Structure 1
């Protein structure tokens, strides 16, 4: 399929289409610098801060992966916890068979990708609500199989014993660095995907799969690739969660609450945007640290907030800044610019049926 940029107004040559502007270039450079500086955190902050940031990075991975799957590909999964749990228990399995712990953590996402390859021919036959229910059923089936395996601890859970002999501060630093590396790698992978015409084709599938196919978009391979990428990312999050906590149980690591968390972060931050899930992850992390001890009321509160956003701000928090300031931080879309440097944007269809004046087809 040939993807072309929007055509600017025909009033002379006063307008031009641009991938980036001064804001996106400055923001991109700042994010690169921030990413590099984050590697120094274990040298200057307490162990508790390092562990908390590790948890935040895991949430960021989950939010970005679910947004890539649902926000850009239109595949609303309720079963990504299948890959989270599989990544965690693959780490346990590999360490039991002599693989060093951090190598096992690094290999677990690959195993989750292989699982996604095996499941894709089955689940990608489904659409809409059937896809959502089908992915949840797969996750529940995997949880039952793991709970029946006594070698993996059965229903009582399992510990990652390979890290018990490492000094706690050093262990948390290594886990932090590995989590940060995975997070940055997956963020870059999503940016590259969105800048390629494949990203636009995926959004066409999200909006109308049959129409996209009629225009020549190869829907099956694109959905397959995105599903596998999301499986790898969620598998990494599961393995890193185990490395950060050192203990897991099937009912928790395969629990559907993971999907609730991902949905909350993406919906509140902004479905179908790159920046929105990051904002949503930070907000959820703050709420979790502040109110998680409230038990059921905490979960009720999260649900109420998600419903309120769905009703009154369906494009999420990021839309408040992007619409009013015509702001975007990363060059993942098209922008209509005047020669004077003034940005006019162009109308693009949003996931919720609205329009955006930023010239992006993603929000």
Structure 2
């Protein structure tokens, strides 16, 4: 347990309470043990589980990573974007280009594609950050549309109809599915660790202060522009990673699939349902969305109506999302980022 205990001043009478600053809770410690056990169990799935369930896990993992990055950007940073699919698509297409045309192993190309998406975010931020509020949201969507139209006019990658990932043709299907699964599992663990570590740092505190008030944050010495830039780049990196992983598993990509605004719409749905501004929220939201998509997507328009109705119900009766409500009602926190002051009484000194 990470704790800081105050020294007892020489002038303080014996018997008065000491204080401790704790950052972990009993629930978080238990969750950590369970999480390690689940990761170890999941890592063994390629040796005993059906391939269909591994593909489902990869899909859930991509949903979660993309939603977690949107939550970091909007839920913690206050930068509401509806154009994060730009980096999702870039990740997918860079992975495909490196694999099909450069000869890079597609599995090696996945992290390289994520880096490319993060690097692209730097010049794009110069455009997006000129806008504020709703204009920023619309501006990010316009950037994504420009990228979609650009890729749709590149015949080398199939133009508007897309193309297939041929670089994996020489790899056995079982090997391909197992490696894709392990990469998705590692990416999910890394995404949680990255977001959790960032939010527990001084930069994380600066980010949440920036969300509440940029003016007040700047007056306290926080470099607002630099903080926003780094969060934007990290969110783009994660979105690119999700896109590269998704299309490695899907084996085919097209501009309409990669740059669809539905990706951001689904991310918003997952974060709002699970709990915006929490690490647990996107995890819960991704599981709920996957379950609804798996069992009800065949209903077409009624499925979309059901998603909208559920989102309205949660926003009306659970304004902080399902996990946000549980956290507020029962104090559940599997990934605590706040410090708690705990008082304790020292033992009485012997006479």
What TM-score do the two structures reach when normalised by structure 2? 0.90
The secondary structure found in structure 1 opposite 2:341 is: strand
Return the alpha-carbon distance in structure 2 between the equivalents of residues 250 and 220 of structure 1.
31
**Residue 133 of structure 1 aligns with which residue?**
138
Deviation readout 1:318-338 (Å, 9 max, x if unpaired): 133222322211232222334
1:69 aligns with 2:82: no
Matched residues, number: 332
- Structure 1 vs Structure 2 CA RMSD: 1.8
Measured after TM superposition, the shift of residue 26 of structure 1 is 2.3
1:88 aligns with 2:92: yes
- Equivalent residue for 1:266? 271
For the residues of structure 2 that align with 1:100 and 1:330, how far apart are their CA atoms? 35
Q: Select which of 194, 214, 223 maps to 2:219.
A: 214
Tell me what 1:257 maps to.
262
Per the TM alignment, residue 14 of structure 1 is displaced from its structure 2 partner at its CA by 6.0
Q: Which runs of 5+ in 1 are unaligned?
A: 6-10, 341-363
Q: CA deviation at 1:36?
A: 2.9
Q: Which one scores higher on RCO, CA 8 angstroms, separation ≥ 6?
A: 2
What is the deviation of 1:254?
A: 0.4
Deviation at 1:301, TM superposition (A): 1.4
Listed as ranges, the matches of 1:188-203 within 5 Å are: 188-203=193-208
Tell me, yes or no, if structure 1 residue 310 matches structure 2 residue 320: no
Indicate if the aligned counterparts of 2:85 and 2:144 stay in contact, CA closer than 8 A.
yes
SS of the residue 2:342 aligns to: strand
Q: CA deviation at 1:34?
A: 2.1
Residue 278 of structure 1: aligned partner: 283
Candidates 97, 112, 119, aligned match of 2:117: 112
Note if contact 1:147-1:154 (Cα within 8 Å) is conserved in structure 2: yes
* 1:59 matched residue in structure 2: 63
Residue in structure 2 matching 1:172, options 172, 177, 186: 177
How far did 1:69 drift?
0.6
For the Cα contact (< 8 Å) 2:19–2:344, is it kept in 1? yes
> Which string of whole-angstrom CA distances, capped at 9 and with x for unpartnered residues, describes residues 204-238 of structure 1?
11111111111111111111111000000000111
Task: Tell me which residue corresponds to 1:243.
Answer: 248
Structure 2: distance between partners of 1:332 and 1:313: 22
Q: Deviations over 1:136-156 (max 9, x none)?
A: 000000000000000110001
Alignment partner of 1:288 is 2:293:
yes
* Distance (Å, rounded) in 1 between the aligned partners of 2:211 and 2:325: 23
Over 6 Å off, 4+ runs: none
SS in 2 for 1:163: coil
Higher CA-based Rg:
2
8 Å contact kept, 2:114–2:238: yes
TM-score of the superposition, structure 1-length normalised?
0.88
* CA displacement at 1:23 relative to structure 2: 2.5
Q: Which residue of 2 aligns with 1:79?
A: 83
